[in-house]
Structure 1
Amino acid sequence: MARKSPGALRAQSRLAGRSGGKTSPIDGLSSRANAAIVRLQLRHPKIGSVATALTSYRRAIWRSGRWLELLGDCPCPSCDPVGQRGILEGAMRRLPPAARRELRRVVDALDEEFLRKTLPDPRAAELNAWDAQAWWRHRLRGR
């Protein structure tokens, strides 16, 4: 019976590992940062897809007009910018410093727009401990 060579087996396993994740690279990040994100998602699958979260967060912020429209109105989690921002924060906490800086730079620009399109919640001090940990949960829609 014919056997595969060790080099063929290594190549096959590398290709299987690449196609298994099916993650698209994030625009604005280096290949090293994208690789760090893929490794993070493999080690911590509960985090979710960072690329999908960033795309959804970006879409929710830029699609809305003067005020952020999709805080609590849409039942699907992909339209909720607060949930997507939480996924991004979880990823940024676990990434290595260089990749964290790159992702933070991309997210900071979106955060500025998020802050501009929302208002501070005057009842934020009354929130439970989980809500109080994240500033993006202390915001209200403009209307």
Structure 2
Amino acid sequence: MQPNAVAIALSRFEWAFKQSGRYLNASEACSPGMEVEDARDDLEQAVLRLPSGAQRDLGRLIARIDAEFERRTLPEPHHIELAVFGWWWTRTRER
């Protein structure tokens, strides 16, 4: 993992969740590799590498992020094969 990976991932979600409207706007997406889905991948890797106490702390934050991300995206049935990478890859934003 890169230095500050967790901080960078959290800042991507902070930026995304500041968007107005019910759903995240697909036209507001970052560059490939800089999407919030990529940030969620980074958080997943980080939580697996932390000691148990820090895992619980970051896990609680991730649970809140996941709930908000799920609330602000829609299911994408055509990308169900991406679930092997994480459920967050099977969601889509408003177009």
Structure 1 residues 116, 72: CA separation in 2 closer, same or farther (over 3 Å shift)? Answer: same
User: Secondary structure at the residue paired with 1:142?
Assistant: coil
Contact 2:26 2:94 (8 Å CA) reproduced? no
Say yes or no: does 1:51 pair with 2:7: yes
Instruction: Give the TM-score of the pair, scaled to structure 1.
Output: 0.56
Structure 1 residues 77, 48: CA separation in 2 closer, same or farther (over 3 Å shift)? Answer: farther
Contact 1:50 1:87 (8 Å CA) reproduced? yes
Gaps of 5+ in 2: none
Alignment size in residue pairs:
95
Say yes or no: does 1:140 pair with 2:86: no
Say yes or no: does 1:102 pair with 2:57: yes
Q: What root-mean-square deviation, in Å, do the aligned CA atoms of Structure 1 and Structure 2 show?
A: 2.4
Task: Report the CA distance between 1:65 and its aligned residue.
Answer: 2.1
Q: State the distance in 1 between where 2:50 and 2:92 align.
A: 29
Larger radius of gyration: 1
Instruction: Give the TM-score of the pair, scaled to structure 2.
Output: 0.80
In percent, how many aligned pairs have the same letter? Answer: 38
Q: State the distance in 2 between where 1:102 and 1:53 align.
A: 16
Say yes or no: does 1:62 pair with 2:14: no
Q: Name the counterpart of 1:86.
A: 41
Q: State the distance in 2 between where 1:58 and 1:65 align.
A: 15
Detail structure 1 runs of 4+ shifted over 6 Å in the superposition. none
Structure 1 residues 100, 64: CA separation in 2 closer, same or farther (over 3 Å shift)? Answer: farther
Higher relative contact order (CA 8 A, sep 6+): 2
Task: Report the CA distance between 1:76 and its aligned residue.
Answer: 6.1
User: Secondary structure at the residue paired with 2:77?
Assistant: coil
